[in-house]
Amino acid sequence: MSPTYTRRQLAATIGSLAAGAAIASAVPPGTATAAGRRPHRLRSATVTYLSDFTQRRYFTYPHLNGFVHATANPTSPATHIVVGQRAADTLSTSLWEIDLATGTERSVATLNHIAGEKNRYLWYDVAIATKVIATTANNTVYTIDLNSAAPTAVAVYTPPTGRFLSAVASMHPDGTKLLASHYPPGVASGPTTCVEVDLTTGVARDVVTSEHFMAHFQYCEADPNWIGYSNQNDTGDWAGRDKRMWVVHPTEAPNGMLIWDQETPTGHITCTHDVWAFHDVTAIVVGYGGVGQRGLWQVWPDGRPARLVSASNEYNHCSISHDGQYAVIDTAPTAGNPAARLDLITMDGSAPPVTVANFNFGSGHPNHGHPSFSQDGQYIGFTDTEPGGSNLPRVGLVTL
């Protein structure tokens, strides 16, 4: 399916973006604005697909990194992208590294899934500083060193007997540690324990525990002493949609702390899909329900009031650029219609959102849009799903 785009106003004048064509701002690239900022990042945008539907390939979760960069420098260009590929029988998943310049690819690991494993796919997180992947399968956390000519999956952590891991493991920015979390059988309820595994010593320490179902543990890369996580409870007084955003910090919140009551000037909102930032100790989250103002919100753990970044009834997943200037969101599909889009948003509201890709939203993980930026801000990876009921995914790439 060829990409199509929605025409949007951008700053004073903006060109149209058609299938595979570029979108151009009236302000020349690199021109400073009155406030000293560069103009909207969307000077040009194209969409390409790095796989076809028959390969069953997908991109990683939005708060994880799926790109490989030349160096750890914030301006270092992305050189490769890592994608997942599910076997047709879902009994194994492989990870592939693709060269963004040449399209050359290599398989870097294949992991089997055990009977009863809740999530028969791999979420993966690439440490920018070390080019080492963290991923979880068959109740084990593995690392994969992309610096190797022949990478292999190395087991680095298994939970205590009778406990089962979340599918998500998150790498520390410097690549020396990772976060994982474990639960009772079924991985759908508490109590929860988050552990930090030292990849040099192999020692795991408990970071925080909760009687409730907590997940999506992630370092705030601006200051990894702050670890954000999400309340995943489905119902009751502790429903995650109403008490979503939590943080733990060695001195400021050693036992975990709720950082937003989700009250807005127009009432309470329900929230989902929070992502912590790289440039500052802050996070973004989607408000999707309730009587309050829906849209993309920015939240801090220091007591500052939450800020509405962009109002919308359609947003679903979100991610933030490493410089903190832009966010990308995917929209939620409507009943019976998988059509969705990716919108690029200025965090300071200096330009309205602009659509950079249209895609189809699949049924269940890992076939959701799940967009996220490369470190240099040049790329957005995402997952597109074949319409018509096959539910086969492919990996899309927006070049900005």
pLDDT digits (tens, 9 = 90+) for 281-305: 999 999 999 999 999 999 999 999 9
CA 19/CA 39 separation, integer angstroms: 23
**Omega before 224 within 30 of 0, i.e. cis:** no
Structural domain includes residue 31: no
What is the domain range of residue 189? 46-399
Instruction: Evaluate if residue 23 carries a pLDDT over 70.
Output: no
pLDDT digits (tens, 9 = 90+) for 220-249: 999 999 999 999 998 777 888 899 999 999
- Choice between 167 and 25, residue whose per-residue pLDDT is larger: 167
pLDDT score of 72? 87
pLDDT score of 237? 79
What tokens does 258 get? 């709720």
pLDDT digits (tens, 9 = 90+) for 26-72: 222 222 333 333 445 555 689 999 999 999 999 999 999 999 999 98
CA 232/CA 228 separation, integer angstroms: 13
Do 313 and 357 touch, CB atoms closer than 8 A? no
Structural domain includes residue 5: no
Number of domains in the chain: 1
Place of tokens 């708060």: 63
pLDDT score of 193? 98
User: Residues near 152 by Cβ (< 8 Å), separated by ≥ 6?
Assistant: 109, 144
Do 367 and 28 touch, CB atoms closer than 8 A? no
CA 33/CA 384 separation, integer angstroms: 35
Q: How confident is the model at residue 202 (pLDDT cuts 50, 70, 90)?
A: very high
CA 126/CA 269 separation, integer angstroms: 33
Residues of the chain above pLDDT 70, percent: 89
Do 286 and 329 touch, CB atoms closer than 8 A? yes
Structural domain includes residue 154: yes
Pairing of strands 253-258, 105-112: unpaired
pLDDT score of 11? 28
Structural domain includes residue 223: yes
Instruction: Evaluate if residue 352 carries a pLDDT over 50.
Output: yes
Structural domain includes residue 19: no
* Mean pLDDT, residues 351-378 taken together: 94
* Mean pLDDT, residues 264-277 taken together: 96
Pairing of strands 245-249, 227-231: antiparallel
- Choice between 114 and 308, residue whose per-residue pLDDT is larger: 308
Nearest residue to 331 (alpha-carbon basis) of 369, 362, 296? 369
CA 366/CA 64 separation, integer angstroms: 13
CATH number, domain with residue 72: 2.130.10.10
pLDDT score of 43? 57
pLDDT score of 183? 97
Strand partners, 96: 83, 107
Identify which of 21-30, 126-135, 333-342, 359-368 has the greatest average pLDDT: 126-135
Structural domain includes residue 138: yes
User: How many residues would you count in the chain?
Assistant: 400
Residue 365 to residues 89, 118, 222, 362, 393, Cα–Cα distance (Å): 15, 11, 28, 8, 10
- Choice between 132 and 335, residue whose per-residue pLDDT is larger: 132
Mean pLDDT of the chain: 88
- Choice between 261 and 30, residue whose per-residue pLDDT is larger: 261
Using CB atoms within 10 Å of the CB of residue 144, give its burial: 0 to 12 exposed, 13 to 18 middle, 19+ buried.
buried
- Choice between 104 and 43, residue whose per-residue pLDDT is larger: 104
- Single-letter residue type at 390: S
pLDDT score of 239? 82
pLDDT score of 42? 56
pLDDT digits (tens, 9 = 90+) for 140-160: 999 999 999 999 999 999 999
CA 171/CA 68 separation, integer angstroms: 13
